[in-house]
Amino acid sequence: MHPTIAITPHRLCLGVIGADIWKRDKKSPRKERRNKPINEKESHHWLNGYQTACEISSIVPETLIVNVADREGDIYEWFLETEEYSPNTRAQWIIRAAQDRILDTTDENTRKIWNKLEKRPILGTVNFTLPASGNRKARYVEQTVRSARVILKAPRRSGYKFKNVEVNAVFAKKIPLLVLNRLNGYFLLLFR
């Protein structure tokens, strides 16, 4: 499911205003998918949803329209698609990163996005209970939150010339809960 939500200028979430629901017919090998154009990949569903969100955004410009994506939505073409729309019609997006992307920087210590964000100051913490799912039990989670505006280095793909793109990145990292158990005179450290 690829949802789009609407939020008023007063930060009231109006809910889901659109969703693209589909099921994968068959999985193709990564090598086979890698050099296909985006319109021949299943990832194209994400772009379709974003284009619909931009259409809605142009109709209700005072309402914030946001596309929400899981890791499958971490595709470079989506970042470029954003720039195709004027600020008046451009919808926003939140994508859960799947790739530790290379940044356009000369600093070798922060060449990749996750490493750069790890070095940023902590802006705050978020606490919540992660619900049970499948074999995973429900558990309490505490995360630190950091952010930065970064320039992603364009990926290299044969037959394509992409440009670098600037994005806002938010990094939420689970704080390990330390548990000490005395076992045969040693302390055993368990991280959850």
Q: What is the pTM of this model?
A: 0.75
Based on the number of CB atoms within 10 Å of its own CB, is 49 exposed (0-12), middle (13-18) or buried (19 or more)?
buried
Nearest Cα neighbor of 70 from 44, 94, 96 is 96
More confident residue, 119 or 177: 119
Confidence label for 34 from pLDDT (cuts 50, 70 and 90): low
Of 51, 67, 98, the position where a domain reaches its end is: 98
Of 64, 98, 132, the position where a domain reaches its end is: 98
Domain count, the chain: 2
Residues 109 and 88 in one domain: no
Domain that holds residue 113: 100-192
Residues 94 and 167 in one domain: no
pLDDT at residue 183 in the model: 44
Of 71, 98, 125, the position where a domain reaches its end is: 98
Amino acid at 76: Y
